[in-house]
Structure 1
Amino acid sequence: MKISVTIARIIVGVLFIFSGLVKAIDPLGLTYKMQEFFEVWGREGYATIMMNWMYNHSFLFSIIMIALEVVLGVALLAGFYKKLTLRLLLWLMIFFTFLTSYVLFSGKIATCGCFGDCIPLTPIQTFTKDIILLLLIIFLLFKQQYILPVGKGFLPLVLVLLSIMGVSMLQMHVLQHLPLTDCLPYKKGNNLLELRKMPPNAIPDQFEYIFVYQKDGVKKEFTPDKLPDSTWTYADRKQTLIKKGSNNVPKINDFSLTDTTGADVTESVLGQEGEYYLFFLKELDEGSSKWSGDFTALWQKSKQQKRPLYIVTADKDKATVFFNTNNNGIPILTCDATAIKTAARANPTLFLMKGPVVQNKWSWADIKEALK
């Protein structure tokens, strides 16, 4: 029995630590995933006021959740306050199982983000994993007498404290800079234009179409191969999914650039020869003073190098006022806020591009590196 308990303890502890660390290298990824859940639940009418409040505090929840996963995993392996640790793990696992079951059975959210963007799992895989972990934690609760502390004295406490400090410092670092490992489609070396295309082995969804025509006040449905004559007037079209396709969504499907006139300039900007900069700015906030000086130096350097510099923002009006006041003549392009959140985990983030290929990326805290 001791061997079984030890194996279960190691599996649960290591998986919780691993799951937390994978998300800790990109805590904003979990924030956005939480916002997706709260937004869907609020839209469905489940405690809308509370969901809106939780949506606005998703960042704090993600930081706490990530730290809790790592710390509880370490506490279990160290044998620190085993009864409290196992109860917290149980409640956390019940919550995770609820989330993954909702993803699996509702179909309203594509993935749960259990292992972040670096290790994507299907809904059935995540649900199965959670059921197994839930059973292992229940087993450990019943056999907790076999869980002994690692070492003597204050060692378990020291290990837990070190885990709290370590995961907190890791999250603080990547929030100021960029994720340690970039697993998103906009990572260094990727061709953004190619990733906007449909995958070569895509299988499209198949739909059934019914056309509604009317004549003399009477509406009637027709299939595409049996449309009525010209005496009938078109009224509506109904579309029904009859067979779901696969691999038919581009890895980058929401990224487009529009200029001040509203024209789509994605192909012309990304398709140009030579090097240029894309300065992604989701929104202007009070922290703009932290990077405005470095940005001015970057603007001057880009002119000396004859490298075009573009502002890519979701808040065109504020950006126009700010940059036209401080740095005249910079082209300002508009992009969807969700696409910017995916492309630029820090606000703002600087891309060095060569044609459609990402050459390098820097957060606002590292713009000085781009000036060297």
Structure 2
Amino acid sequence: MKLLINFVRVFVGVLFIFSGLVKANDPLGLSYKMQEFFELWNMHFLNAYTLSFSIIMIAFEIVAGVALLVGWQMRLFSWLLLILIIFFTFLTGYAVITGTPKECGCFGNCIPLTSDQSFMKDLLLLALILLLLVFRKKIQPLFSAKGSIIVLFFSTVFTLAFMWYALVHLPVVDCLAYKEGNSILGGMKVPEGARPDSTVITFVYKKGGQDMEFTADKFPEDFSDSLYTFVKRYDKVVRRGNAEPAIKDFALTNQKGEPMTETVLSGEGYKLLLFLRSDYPQGEWLTYLDMIAQTASANAIGREIVTSINLETLYKNPPPVFYKFNAVLCDATVIKTTARANPTLFLLNRDTIVKKWSYADMDAALKYISKMYPKPY
């Protein structure tokens, strides 16, 4: 039994650390997933705190996983993990029952799991954590209390530093549909060989004051217009397909609302897209961006600001470099999905993403673009 308990301890600990690290690579991704749940529950007032919740949850997952591995304070962490996994199981169970959201974000964007898969995973973890809680006295710590605290301290510092880097720069491992090498227009198409949803036509009729559902091939034997009153007809999904494009809602427009996506992306050659939200910071990045814009202008590289800010507001006392860019509008949620840092600069060759940089890495962007177009001597 002791061998089994220690195997479970290591398995659960490694799984929580792995899950936490995947999410720590993109804390904003978990933050946006939380916002989806809060929107469903009409708890909009919590949206402002989702990033803080995300950071705390990710840090706890990793630290709790490390605590399991070193066997420290098993009573405390067994109870904390039990509470956490009950909460996770509730979320995934809710997603299974309601069908929304389709993915729960348990392993971030890098390892997408369906709601059903996430729910089964959480049920397994719930059973394993209950086992650890019951037999926690069989687990001996690997280090002294002081040694365990030191390990947990450095684990916490590493986790917070890793998340800070991902937030200020960009995710270390890019698992988004807008990663380097991907075509934006290509990602908006349904993949070849994709399987559409399987549906059946379902009728709802009222009989004796009760609604009854049946499909077109299974009408009741006593069906007649005198007994049944038509209520509605709908298509019921019996098997989910995968006929969805990786990029669903990307759309650019001008101030008049006219479509600009094809105009901006389909032109030949290189172009720069600066994805910008309203709360962008000031700083040295603007100086580097100005030098990038000068190099781009001298070499006929297209330049667009992609923003959710009203264009009149955008150009009301903006940083001077903004005048060196054209501007198009895009939905704020799409921009958050496309560009994790605010702002983020994309270098495209036609519609294919060549490179992208956070505002904190504009110096690297300048070096890269300068190497593409060195000054003549």
TM-score, normalization by structure 1 = 0.86
Structure 1 residue 204: Cα displacement = 4.3
Mapped to 1, the partners of 2:145 and 2:245 lie a distance apart of 55
Q: Which runs of 5+ in 2 are unaligned?
A: 204-231, 368-377
Mapped to 2, the partners of 1:325 and 1:369 lie a distance apart of 21
Matches within 5 A, 1:205-354: 205=197, 240-243=234-237, 246-285=241-280, 287-317=281-311, 318-323=313-318, 326-354=321-349
Task: Tell me, yes or no, if the aligned pair for 2:72 and 2:145 is still in contact at 8 Å.
Answer: no
Instruction: Indicate whether 1:72 and 2:67 are aligned.
Output: no
Instruction: Indicate whether 1:184 and 2:176 are aligned.
Output: yes
Mapped to 2, the partners of 1:13 and 1:354 lie a distance apart of 44
Code of the residue aligned with 2:256 in structure 1: it is T
Task: Tell me, yes or no, if the aligned pair for 1:312 and 1:332 is still in contact at 8 Å.
Answer: yes
Instruction: Indicate whether 1:93 and 2:81 are aligned.
Output: no
* Deviates further, 288-297 or 170-179: 288-297
Task: Tell me, yes or no, if the aligned pair for 1:207 and 1:243 is still in contact at 8 Å.
Answer: yes
> 1:226 maps to what in 2?
none
Q: Secondary structure at the match of 1:321?
A: coil
Structure 1 residue 338: Cα displacement = 1.5
* Deviates further, 333-342 or 148-157: 148-157
Q: Secondary structure at the match of 2:180?
A: coil
Q: Which runs of 5+ in 1 are unaligned?
A: 43-50, 211-237
Structure 1 residue 106: Cα displacement = 1.0
> 2:34 maps to what in 1?
34
Q: Secondary structure at the match of 1:190?
A: coil
Task: Tell me, yes or no, if the aligned pair for 1:324 and 1:330 is still in contact at 8 Å.
Answer: no
Mapped to 1, the partners of 2:48 and 2:304 lie a distance apart of 30
Task: Tell me, yes or no, if the aligned pair for 1:319 and 1:332 is still in contact at 8 Å.
Answer: no
> 1:132 maps to what in 2?
124
Structure 1 residue 64: Cα displacement = 0.3
> 1:16 maps to what in 2?
16
Deviations 1:111-151 (A, max 9, x none): 11000000011111111111111111111111011111112
Mapped to 1, the partners of 2:319 and 2:156 lie a distance apart of 44
Task: Tell me, yes or no, if the aligned pair for 2:201 and 2:233 is still in contact at 8 Å.
Answer: yes
> 2:99 maps to what in 1?
107
Mapped to 1, the partners of 2:233 and 2:254 lie a distance apart of 34
Code of the residue aligned with 1:309 in structure 2: it is R
Identical columns (%) = 44
Mapped to 2, the partners of 1:311 and 1:239 lie a distance apart of 46
Task: Tell me, yes or no, if the aligned pair for 1:17 and 1:70 is still in contact at 8 Å.
Answer: yes
Mapped to 2, the partners of 1:33 and 1:67 lie a distance apart of 17
> 1:46 maps to what in 2?
none
Structure 1 residue 201: Cα displacement = 2.5
Mapped to 2, the partners of 1:283 and 1:122 lie a distance apart of 33
Mapped to 1, the partners of 2:114 and 2:105 lie a distance apart of 10
Mapped to 1, the partners of 2:128 and 2:103 lie a distance apart of 23
Code of the residue aligned with 1:304 in structure 2: it is A
Question: RMSD of the TM alignment (CA)?
Answer: 2.0
- Cα distance change, pair 356–143 in 1 and its aligned pair in 2 (3 A): same
Q: 2:166 pairs with 174, 190, 211, which one? A: 174
> 1:120 maps to what in 2?
112
Structure 1 residue 209: Cα displacement = 11
* Count of matched residue positions in the alignment of Structure 1 and Structure 2: 337
Task: Tell me, yes or no, if the aligned pair for 2:274 and 2:344 is still in contact at 8 Å.
Answer: yes
Structure 1 residue 202: Cα displacement = 3.8
Task: Tell me, yes or no, if the aligned pair for 1:27 and 1:63 is still in contact at 8 Å.
Answer: yes
Q: Secondary structure at the match of 2:348?
A: strand
TM-score, normalization by structure 2 = 0.85
Task: Tell me, yes or no, if the aligned pair for 2:71 and 2:139 is still in contact at 8 Å.
Answer: yes
Structure 1 residue 259: Cα displacement = 1.8
Task: Tell me, yes or no, if the aligned pair for 2:272 and 2:348 is still in contact at 8 Å.
Answer: yes
Q: Secondary structure at the match of 2:176?
A: coil
Mapped to 2, the partners of 1:290 and 1:113 lie a distance apart of 34
Mapped to 2, the partners of 1:170 and 1:328 lie a distance apart of 35
Mapped to 2, the partners of 1:356 and 1:269 lie a distance apart of 9
Task: Tell me, yes or no, if the aligned pair for 2:293 and 2:321 is still in contact at 8 Å.
Answer: no
Mapped to 2, the partners of 1:33 and 1:153 lie a distance apart of 36
Mapped to 2, the partners of 1:253 and 1:136 lie a distance apart of 38
- Cα distance change, pair 186–301 in 1 and its aligned pair in 2 (3 A): same
Structure 1 residue 79: Cα displacement = 1.5
